[in-house]
Amino acid sequence: MPAIQTFAYDVLIIGAGGAGLRAAIEATARGATVGLICKSLLGKAHTVMAEGGMAAAMANVDDRDSWQVHFADTMRGGQYVNNWRMAELHAREAPDRVRELEAWGAVFDRTDDGRILQRNFGGHRYPRLAHVGDRTGLELIRTLQDHTVHMGVVVHMEHTVIELLRDGGRIAGALAYDRERGRFHLFAARAVVLATGGIGRAYRVTSNSWESTGDGHALAYRAGAELIDMEFVQFHPTGMVWPPSVKGILVTEGVRGEGGILTNREGRRFMFDDIPENYRAQTAADAEEGWRYTQGDRNARRPPELLTRDHVARCIVREIKEGRGSPHGGVFLDIAWIKEKLPNAAEHIRRKLPSMYHQFKELADLDITREPMEVGPTTHYIMGGIRVDAETQQSSVPGLFAAGECAAGINGANRLGGNSLSDLLVFGKRAGEHAADWARSQGPTGIDDALVDAVMRGALEPFDRGGDSENPYAIQSTLQDTMQDLVGIVRTGPELEEALARIDGLWTRTGRAGVSGHREYHAGWHTCLDLRNLLVVAEAIARSALERPESRGGHFRDDFPARDPACATFNVVVVRGPDGHMQVSRAPIPPMPAALVRIIEEEA
Ligand SMILES: Cc1cc2nc3c(=O)[nH]c(=O)nc-3n(C[C@H](O)[C@H](O)[C@H](O)COP(=O)(O)OP(=O)(O)OC[C@H]3O[C@@H](n4cnc5c(N)ncnc54)[C@H](O)[C@@H]3O)c2cc1C
């Protein structure tokens, strides 16, 4: 094996978004030595893009809120296939995690009497999202990052992990390359926390950054961990649709929380046409009641634009498919209309939604205080991911932990907006704590040189094949089209089978993908390595979607359009079989304790 630089830590954290940073802080606080690796520069993780806020039942704006209501909302939103213990822990612990963030210096928007302000969001019964205008992720990252640096965590920026390494059954470290020189680095650790975020780049239209290539999902899978719920992908209802260069960029749900309405080309507010039975009692009877809700009237119910994301996205797709869409293939999202209600509407919109105002002004030459936006669904979040223990966040591989978007369970079939940022804090903390404890309890691990050598050789194969072979960008582009067209918002069995056949072909082509030149900042080579992760994720989503013959949350089957109670009893599990092929099975959901069932019944 050629000499490579080696680092050793008690706990290695892969990912510097909200989950990774919070885990790093906690593991360090418990006395562990911690190394943190991220693909881009510190502060650039995808979390920085989060806009609307973090959900926590602090009851600052409406004193009827409580952890119990938050728990019930999360379970209803997830259509009851959530890991109920994670949903409970999240609802109970989120308020403390938000207050802790404030104590570390996060400057939230305030109520008139100086408490953290909370805003409305889809599926949350009461105003619950602590926020900083529409730049909440920036404040969260800034605060956690400052704290991480002060605690002395060693950060390896612009390093990409390509494989996890095991010692027998236990995790022992990871192999990474740096972007600048393309050199390999070995990281030995007794515990590893995956906090690598989402998978959006497997699809053509996405709100996710270039980093979201499902690395953690695939690294865990190859290391032998189980993935669950991979069929549940969230398509956010409102992404930009025009101009083409910005298609998919998110338009925060905060716009609807502030009173924005969805209309079709006929000017009809179509969301009133289709209100699901289980939300009817919580939804406004008319536009007037909906408006009063957004302005904080405790006696009003939420407008239908604030129904869960899966439902709103499907209603938008229906309008477009039936010919009532906007000129560029979306529908209209109108916040400018509130000038009928507020004398200083333009200033109000610019203050409440500064990023949205600038985003449309700069990118689409449109003033949202005067005109409606054009929006359509965009791939946004994956509810599925690494199966973890609710208390410790440990995966099925000893010593391997996961937190944040790459872990699964809390959201079930659909995530409520705002629940991710608080998830990062609650479960990032737990992962850091338990990873540090695990590392302390374990003896030393060893890493086999031959294994490291084989991983490096495999990673360099694209250079052996040279630049005249298959083009990695072309393969990724075909994959994105396949996922967008065949494994998107509306799915059918034959289309999923067709997607799997195409993915199989893309695996073969990836085995022939080649590049030429030096290893420094070599984006083509990086794409070759990304493809191995993207294809695992794509295959896992398509296979899991076939295994669930019903429609639930983010997973809609045109050939099984109804929810099937028999399918509410299991999660779909994906694991790498002994022959290297993907195996799919069903894991029964454990029965919920009576006390939690009662909460759900009382809050229905
Ligand atoms: C535009 C937008 C707005 C959003 N707004 C909200 C909101 O208001 N409220 C809310 O709750 N949620 C929101 N979300 C969702 C939320 O932001 C994400 O789910 C969350 O930030 C994910 O955080 P994370 O820590 O899991 O991962 P990320 O923040 O995605 O960080 C992943 C980290 O892993 C690193 N990484 C990945 N692969 C590797 C590898 N192979 N080697 C080394 N490092 C690696 C990356 O470099 C990065 O540092 C929004 C999402 C988007 C796209």
Rounded to whole angstroms, the Cα distance separating 255 from 250 reads 11
Residue-level pLDDT at 134: 83
Residue of 14, 36, 46 to mutate, ligand 1, most atoms within 8 A of C-beta: 46
Whether 17 has a pLDDT exceeding 80, the answer reads: yes
Residue of 380, 347, 341, 361 whose CA lies nearest to 489: 380
One-letter amino acid at 213 equals T
Active site residue 434: no
Rounded to whole angstroms, the Cα distance separating 213 from 200 reads 7
* Tens-place pLDDT, residues 353-365: 999 999 999 999 9
Tell me if 87 CB under 6 Å of ligand 1: no
Whether 492 has a pLDDT exceeding 60, the answer reads: yes
The residue whose CA has the least distance to atom 6 of ligand 1 is: 50
**Residue 572 buriedness (CB in 10 A; 0-12 / 13-18 / 19+):** buried
Rounded to whole angstroms, the Cα distance separating 116 from 107 reads 9
The residue whose CA has the least distance to atom 10 of ligand 1 is: 418
Residue-level pLDDT at 468: 86
- pTM of the predicted structure, to 2 decimals: 0.95
Active site residue 491: no
Residue-level pLDDT at 133: 86
Residue-level pLDDT at 271: 97
Q: What average pLDDT does the segment 331-350 reach?
A: 96
Residue keyed to tokens 């804090």: 425
Q: Please confirm whether the linkage preceding 243 is cis (ω < 30° from 0).
A: yes
Three-state DSSP string of 104-158: CCCCCCECCCCCECEECCCCCCCCCEECCCCCHHHHHHHHHHHHHHHCCCEEECC
Whether 22 has a pLDDT exceeding 70, the answer reads: yes
Q: Tell me the torsion sign for CA atoms 52, 53, 57, 63.
A: negative
Whether 453 has a pLDDT exceeding 60, the answer reads: yes
152 CA → ligand 1 middle, Å? 23
Residue 564: pLDDT band by 50, 70, 90 thresholds?
A: very high
Tell me if 421 CB under 6 Å of ligand 1: yes
> Quick check: 176 and 7 in contact, CB under 8 A?
no
Residue 1: pLDDT band by 50, 70, 90 thresholds?
A: low
Residue-level pLDDT at 467: 80
Q: Which atom of ligand 1 is nearest to the CA of 176?
A: 42
> Quick check: 578 and 234 in contact, CB under 8 A?
no
86 CA → ligand 1 middle, Å? 19
% residues pLDDT > 90 (the chain): 94
When the pLDDT of each residue in the chain is averaged and rounded to a whole number, the result is: 96
| Percentages (nearest 5) of helix, strand, coil residues in the chain | 40, 20, 40
> Per the residue annotation, which of 135, 236, 269, 380 is the catalytic one?
236
Q: What average pLDDT does the segment 202-223 reach?
A: 96
> Quick check: 383 and 81 in contact, CB under 8 A?
no
Whether 553 has a pLDDT exceeding 90, the answer reads: yes
When mean pLDDT is compared across 2-11, 17-26, 533-542, the lowest value belongs to: 2-11
Rounded to whole angstroms, the Cα distance separating 157 from 148 reads 14
Whether 2 has a pLDDT exceeding 90, the answer reads: no
Contacts of 314-319 with CB under 8 Å at 24 or more apart are 314/489, 314/490, 314/556, 315/237, 315/262, 315/270, 315/271, 315/273, 315/274, 316/237, 316/262, 316/375, 316/376, 316/377, 317/377, 317/489, 317/490, 318/274, 319/264, 319/270
Residue of 565, 562, 563, 568 whose CA lies nearest to 589: 568
Residue 603: pLDDT band by 50, 70, 90 thresholds?
A: confident
Q: Which atom of ligand 1 is nearest to the CA of 16?
A: 49
Residue-level pLDDT at 51: 86
Residue 254: pLDDT band by 50, 70, 90 thresholds?
A: confident
> Quick check: 373 and 251 in contact, CB under 8 A?
yes
The residue whose CA has the least distance to atom 21 of ligand 1 is: 47
